[in-house]
Structure 1
Amino acid sequence: MIYIDFDKNILDKYHKIIRCWFLRKFAGGKTHKNGYHCGNDKCEICSKSIHKVNNIPEAAVDFFKNNIDTLIIGNPSQLIKLYKEYVKLGIDDSGDIICDFFVKTGYTNWFQDEFAKDFLSDLNINTCIYCNRNYTLDILYSHTRAELDHWFPKDKFPILALSLHNFIPSCHSCNHIKGNGDKTLKRILKNENLSKEEIQQWWENVLESMIHPHDKNENENFTFTYEYDKSLNSLSVKLNINPLSKKVSTTLEFNKILEIYNAHANFELKDLYDLRKKYSDTFLNIIENNFDGIMKKEEAYRIIFGIETNEKDYHKRPFSKFKFDIIEELKKGN
């Protein structure tokens, strides 16, 4: 998994868009002459006709309006705290009114249709945050290969469906693997009989068990390594993880990182291993010594291996962290 940090200008842009949408839905106003208007006549939200939502309990509307900025741009810890505060209100949502508003009306029918592609383009993240093996680049104007995964699942935390730090650019495969997390959680906890209440409780405390992509402190606290049999017919990917970093282990297991990379071992890993054995230290040492000043190490790795070596740039090319970790180990002569 790759650490991501949204650019402030991007956050400000979509904070404004989502904020205006919420407040116009709560206050109503088919035109800017009544209901809510941000004061900017060029606002693409406030200049449009938007119907007021009438079926949300008043207590819920007041809560969302009073906490609107945290709801939209709060960090992961703030979001889960806000959700727990909302639950304490005890608002009856037996008809799934609030879920429909946030998930169906807000995210699926509005943001996903009108702004998801622009949001992904503005983020300019080229590969899946979870696996870093698939590109997530645009193909056509109306479609994108990237998907926005909700790190806090929409079915469990519907009011976070439009929270920006809950949007994680991912490939279809990883988004499908994660799903709402129930099956994976049962596998990790080795308990197929977990109740819905137990699963929900685990998710409400998930930041104690897993690392969020916006959590810089522990995000890259592991390295890829490898092992092989004596015949060299079988190479497999391994992970070096700090034994004390249980959150890292759970996160990698949850996203099936080891299984994903072992599926590529006979391709990506074998090529690197063969390079080390065929060329001994010579080739790698030339790269390490910057081609006698011809180019920088980062440029050499990009041209020869097709990867980025700086952590902040891992997202730009597939397999960057994986290949960089393996190459660094190969250079040690292992």
Structure 2
Amino acid sequence: MLINISDVWASARASHNLYLEGLIDDGLASLGPSALDQRIKLFLEFLKIHLTAKNIYGLNSAISYHQKLQRKISRHERIKVNDFLVELFDYKAFSRRKLRDWSAYKLCRSSNYRVCPYCHYSLMLVTEEKKGGIRPDLDHWYPQHLYPYLALALNNLVPSCLICNSRLKGSADMHINPHLHPFLDSESLHFRCEKPGSSIVDIITNFENVKDQLSVRIDFNGACQKSTNTLTLFQLRERYALLSPDGAKFVGRKTYSDGLEDWFQAHLMGPLHQTPPVPQLKDRAKEIRQLGFDRQDYKNEVFGKMYADLYDQYDRTSLLNNPYP
């Protein structure tokens, strides 16, 4: 995960919870008086509260409850319970391309974001459903084959691209192996564009000669297992290493837009911090035209997290008022 999208389903929560509550009510109505059915009933009532809560930690509570239930019943009963849950929380029915009151397609149309949060590499487009539309994948953070009762939980559905969801993440169990969560964790993976042995001032003042030697890398806390797992699973280092030329071009546009090369060249003969300038207020609309990038809306720009971090690394205000790296 590169970006946090905790508010991705803000406008969809009421509609989705109404849909989910209706399914659970149907399940409750189908249960009989047997001891096993009464156990299932208690579990469904628990799910109705925790799966529709805004707090994502309700998913872990549901997993814990289900694990306790499994230990209290026989193998035959476990199979029966699992079959019941798979049929009740039918994701295939929810995801079929068919017009109805609420569906996976309508959920995706309500998303606040259009770029995959795992890689920030791919657009997640939604087109008109009645014309055979397309929508992004909905990744089950906790795999539905292991946790069928979470198959339709809104907090378990992460909009994502096909590569991240199907080819890279697949059926990885995030309950067992923790990764950075797009709804929960802060953005702790940060991009840098550098040339080994060169300072930022060296890069700016000699940009045309070093631009082909610049490389993009990802900074992270090596002691954070979530970060390490995320980088490995989604192949983020390898994928973004291929974008080093794009990162270098952005750095060139950013430093030119800020007029840094001319300013540094004019002060190479004296101490850079002797009389630091007062940066002029930026014209945001003009900067967006020059960069082809809006720093304030980076989450909805392809490669936006990389560009946002490089923007901050080479920002005029920061560089002219702080010791140079």
TM-score higher than 0.5 here?
yes
CA contact (8 A) 2:124 2:135 kept: yes
SS in 1 for 2:193: strand
- Alignment-derived partner of residue 116 in structure 1: 104
CA contact (8 A) 2:43 2:65 kept: no
The alignment status of 1:100 with 2:86, answered yes or no, reads yes
- 1:1-334 matches, cutoff 5 A: 1-6=2-7, 8-27=10-29, 58=37, 59-73=39-53, 75-90=55-70, 91=73, 92-94=77-79, 96-98=82-84, 100-102=86-88, 106-113=90-97, 114=100, 115-141=103-129, 142-176=132-166, 177-181=168-172, 203-206=174-177, 209-215=178-184, 218-228=185-195, 233-266=212-245, 268-275=246-253, 281=260, 289-291=280-282, 295-296=283-284, 299-310=285-296, 313-331=297-315, 332=319
Structure 2: 5+ residue stretches without partners? 198-209, 265-278
Quote the Cα distance in structure 2 between the aligned partners of 1:325 and 1:263.
17
Quote the Cα distance in structure 2 between the aligned partners of 1:88 and 1:160.
16
- Going from structure 1 to structure 2, the CA distance change for 1:300 and 1:83 (only over 3 Å counts) comes to farther
- Going from structure 1 to structure 2, the CA distance change for 1:237 and 1:3 (only over 3 Å counts) comes to same
Quote the Cα distance in structure 1 between the aligned partners of 2:301 and 2:262.
22
- Going from structure 1 to structure 2, the CA distance change for 1:304 and 1:108 (only over 3 Å counts) comes to farther
Quote the Cα distance in structure 1 between the aligned partners of 2:216 and 2:43.
48
Number of aligned positions between the proteins? 275
RMSD: 3.4
- Going from structure 1 to structure 2, the CA distance change for 1:25 and 1:276 (only over 3 Å counts) comes to closer
CA contact (8 A) 1:236 1:265 kept: yes
Deviation at 1:101, TM superposition (A): 1.6
TM-score using structure 1 length: 0.70
Structure 1: 5+ residue stretches without partners? 29-51, 182-199
SS in 2 for 1:139: coil
SS in 2 for 1:93: helix
Question: Greater relative contact order: 1 or 2 (C-alpha under 8 angstroms, separation 6 or more)?
Answer: 2
